[in-house]
Amino acid sequence: MQEKVLNIVVNHFENDSRVIKVSSSLSRHGYKVQVAALHKDGLKVEEEFENLFSVYRFPLYFRKLKPKSFFRIFALVELILKIRARFRYFDIFHCNDLEGLIIGVLIKFSLPFQKIQIVYDAHEYESNCVPGQSPIKVQFLEIIERMFIRYADRMITVSDSLATLYSEVFKITRPDVILNCPPQKTILSKYSDKKLYKELNLRSDQKIILYLGGLSQGRSLDKMIEAFKLIKNDEYVLVFIGYGPLKQFIVENTDNKNIFFKPAVPPNEIFEYTQDAYLGLCLTEDRAVSYRYSLPNKVFEYAMSNVPIIAPPLPELSKIVKENNIGVVLKEVTPQAIIKTILNIDEHEYHNYKFSIKKFITKYNWENQEKKLIKLYKSFEQEATVPLTEEKTLESDQTHLQKNMVKK
């Protein structure tokens, strides 16, 4: 019998490349896949994605009420009840992030006579995933995650450091690492029309320094802008492609001389633009545990476009860039260091990076990550469920929480 997988995301499922890749891979390997997401005006409630999987976006009454923070828990309960009613007969819940895990586990508890398996897909360190969280909030979220993570049958995450951290903090079997790489089958040569140059009216002799991704705190966006205000010519131009709460800040600093902005594009169109870049910026700041150990999509998207990377001195980012010689790691992230690095890369060094990238993408691609994903799913068929957690005393739990609180 074909196993049914429910991929749960607590967002609107618009540009979620990881969920698309996971759902598509499972579908191609014989699973019936459904994505459960949130609805908003302008999006379809139901749709098919490339004839591979279905998407259902739940309209929620309580999300429309204000203050939203007060009604958030009611909206979560409403979502749980609606998912349970519609997808109760699914075999595996693939739960993205902490809210997805809570939803999946609570539905599993409410259906004790059904054998629902839980896969927890932590895209970041969920207890401290954004800058500015207070130690009390971090501790509270860690308690919640500890309560629910023990009921996950399998767990995956997006970097080696995060896998190790989860294993140590929560005393669980080390999660599998499935990197968020694009497919290698992306054929770069088919994008040869200089689309980004044309849309921004750039000259062919100008070099694009690209930032791709979320426009939010902790990405050094302000330092990138300050760096390009230090240079007077337009030989190098800074281009932002993305969306997020700092969009207006970026737009206000766009001068259309050497700083430009383009709204986010769908995942299947990204490479039409990234391949025009000279260098790609990924300058995550060490402002949360999740940021410290992150390995963002953009690293692999730049590489798949044969674009060398400028990275910060953070563990995962510096390791992958240095070990594979695919770009430069800054000693410190300042406007002066950013622009100095860009201006000082010589032609020989630049071509060495591009040569290394060709080897890099034969290893770091979705086709290789897909093998690990399918192996994990096949393990449900091959063996009895192995409990994710080990026995722990309350005392050791409390000690661990104290040690792992983020100090502000």
The CATH number of the domain holding residue 14 is 3.40.50.2000
Distances (CA, A) of 18 to 125, 143, 326: 16, 26, 23
- Whole-structure pTM value: 0.88
The number of helix segments (H) and strand segments (E) in the chain equals 16, 14
Q: What is the mean pLDDT of residues 275-279?
A: 96
d(CA 327, CA 281): 10
pLDDT at 400 (0 to 100): 44
Same domain, 346 and 227: yes
Same domain, 150 and 240: no
Q: What is the dihedral of CA 171, 132, 302, 321, to 10 degrees?
A: -60
CB 302 within 8 A of CB 280: yes
Q: Binning pLDDT at 50, 70 and 90, where does residue 397 land?
A: very low
Same domain, 71 and 145: yes
More confident residue, 381 or 172: 172
Q: Binning pLDDT at 50, 70 and 90, where does residue 63 land?
A: confident
Pairing label, strands 154-157, 117-122: parallel
Question: What's the alpha-carbon Rg for the chain, to the nearest Å?
Answer: 22
- Asked if residue 175 has a cis previous peptide bond (ω within 30° of 0), the answer is no
pLDDT digits (tens, 9 = 90+) for 344-380: 999 999 999 999 999 999 999 999 999 999 999 999 9
Model confidence at 330: pLDDT above 50: yes
pLDDT at 402 (0 to 100): 43
Same domain, 225 and 321: yes
d(CA 253, CA 42): 29
Same domain, 352 and 385: no
pLDDT digits (tens, 9 = 90+) for 145-192: 999 999 999 999 999 999 999 999 999 999 999 999 999 866 555 555
pLDDT digits (tens, 9 = 90+) for 187-208: 555 555 789 999 999 999 999 9
Same domain, 166 and 248: no
* Residues near 342 by beta carbon (within 8 Å), at least 6 away in sequence: 209, 227, 236, 279, 310
CB 370 within 8 A of CB 178: no
Look up residue 159 and give its two tokens.
């970097």
Q: What is the mean pLDDT of residues 61-77?
A: 85
Q: Which of 194, 336, 352 is nearest to 273 (CA)?
A: 194
d(CA 153, CA 147): 14
pLDDT at 192 (0 to 100): 59
Same domain, 216 and 301: yes
| Look-up of token digits 């798949």 | 304
More confident residue, 216 or 63: 216
CB 107 within 8 A of CB 84: yes
Same domain, 201 and 320: yes
Same domain, 175 and 200: no
Q: What is the mean pLDDT of residues 282-305?
A: 95
Q: Please state the φ and ψ torsions of residue 7, each to the nearest 5 degrees.
A: -95, 110
- Helices 97-110 and 135-149 cross at an angle (nearest 10°) of 40
Q: What is the mean pLDDT of residues 245-251?
A: 95
Same domain, 149 and 196: no
> Which residues span the domain enclosing 225?
188-363
Same domain, 134 and 261: no
Same domain, 149 and 277: no
d(CA 329, CA 282): 10
d(CA 138, CA 217): 18
How many domains does the chain divide into?
Answer: 2
Q: What is the mean pLDDT of residues 46-69?
A: 90
Residue 394 is classified by DSSP as: H
